[in-house]
Amino acid sequence: MMAMELKNTFAGDAPSEAVAAAVAEDGYAVVRDAVDADTVAAVKADLAPYFEKAHDGHEEFYGKLTKRFGALLAKSTAVQALLVHPTVLAVADDALLPHCVRYRLHYSGVMHIEPGETRQVLHRDIGLYPIANPCPPLTVATMWALSDFTRENGGTRLIPGSHLWSSNRVPKPEEVVATEMPAGSVLIYTGNTIHGGGANRAEGSRSGVALHYNLGWLRQEENQYMAVPPELARQLSDQIQELIGYSLGSSSLGVVDHIDPKDYLHGVRDPAQSSLSSPEMEKQVQALSRFHISHSEDGLPNYYDVDTD
Ligand SMILES: O=C(O)CCC(=O)C(=O)O
Ligand SMILES: [Fe+2]
């Protein structure tokens, strides 16, 4: 039983402020046809060899019939267009920049749900940090549709508004909505929003690329420096190098041998040639919103087993 309808569905050319406002208010938005069919085809072509080799999950959470693999920046150049999509970055700017100087690529991966897969347990992605909800957005997730997403084929289930709930609140089946969107669309949600992959009761697979972004002072889920080593990173644009993490996340945060990692990547080895705390960076750090974290009870849930099949 899924009673609520998916709202917050925008056209590809919708103003990014409206998309960001929807994500702030309800925790999610869908941008239909955010990239064209050629881009989807190029991403699929780049990743095709890896699909063949990909393993289904061996752990319950990851799904027994769900193919997953990561390190997408090392596997595809076409995926770069998804990573720096202007609407997505505008939403990430709006959600994350009040709380950090730079945000990062947190995770990159394929989530390919095959027919017969059962529903994934609902969860908050921020559960990998020991911080209870509600809290400011720590991550922004995107799920790019490489195939159509439907309620039948496992389109991501989510709970509108749950980004603002206390961790204690357990969703009811009628609060769950399924993401429906054509290939080339993107679901954007914060890591504070309860969600999970759906059961696939259709004939074909549901295929998605997940690109998540996190506050620059938190550890990234995926180790981007091993996934995209310096030789490879040097070939990427400045913007993507920064997103991966080859740049300071705050004054001196992420430093290597007393050198800004961006300078280090390009061969600088003399600390005198590299600024770890520029006046501009200091100003940005001082201007950040600061939030209080009070200690709360142990054992708050992050996983919610809600039956909507
Ligand atoms: O496959 C999906 O739709 C979502 C998967 C997910 O939320 C996760 O693995 O964290
Ligand atoms: Fe998730």
Domain identity same for 265 and 166: no
pLDDT confidence of residue 3: 59
Domain identity same for 144 and 215: yes
Query: Which ligand neighbours the alpha carbon of 120 most closely?
Result: 1
Q: How far is the CA of 52 from the centre of ligand 2 (A)?
A: 23
Residue 28 lies in a domain: yes
**What is the CB < 6 Å shell around ligand 1?**
111, 113, 120, 125, 143, 156, 195-197, 208
Helix%, strand%, coil% for the chain, nearest 5: 30, 20, 50
Domain identity same for 257 and 162: no
- Residue owning the nearest CA to atom 5 of ligand 1: 197
Q: Measured from the CA of 68, which atom of ligand 1 is nearest?
A: 9
- Scanning the structure block, which residue is given the tokens 């030789």? 231
Domain identity same for 144 and 265: no
Residue 228 lies in a domain: no
Residue 294 lies in a domain: no
Q: How far is CA 234 from the centre of its chain?
A: 23
Each residue of 231-251: pLDDT tens digit? Answer: 999 999 999 999 999 999 888
4 pLDDT higher than 80: no
Strand order in the sheet with 303-304: 177-178, 157-158, 195-196, 122-123, 303-304
Query: Which ligand neighbours the alpha carbon of 139 most closely?
Result: 2
Query: Which ligand neighbours the alpha carbon of 191 most closely?
Result: 2
Domain identity same for 127 and 271: no
Instruction: Out of 2-6, 218-222, 292-296, pick the least confident.
Output: 2-6
Q: How many domains does the chain have?
A: 2
Domain identity same for 261 and 119: no
Structural domain harbouring 272: 247-287
Domain identity same for 175 and 87: yes
Q: How far is the CA of 196 from the centre of ligand 1 (A)?
A: 5
Each residue of 71-128: pLDDT tens digit? Answer: 999 999 999 999 999 999 999 999 999 999 999 999 999 999 999 999 999 999 999 9
Q: How far is CA 96 from the centre of its chain?
A: 12
The Cα 298–Cα 309 span in angstroms is 31
Domain identity same for 143 and 200: yes
Domain identity same for 218 and 251: no
- CA-CA distances (angstroms) from residue 170 to 81, 166, 194, 287? 37, 9, 10, 36
Q: Measured from the CA of 154, which atom of ligand 1 is nearest?
A: 3
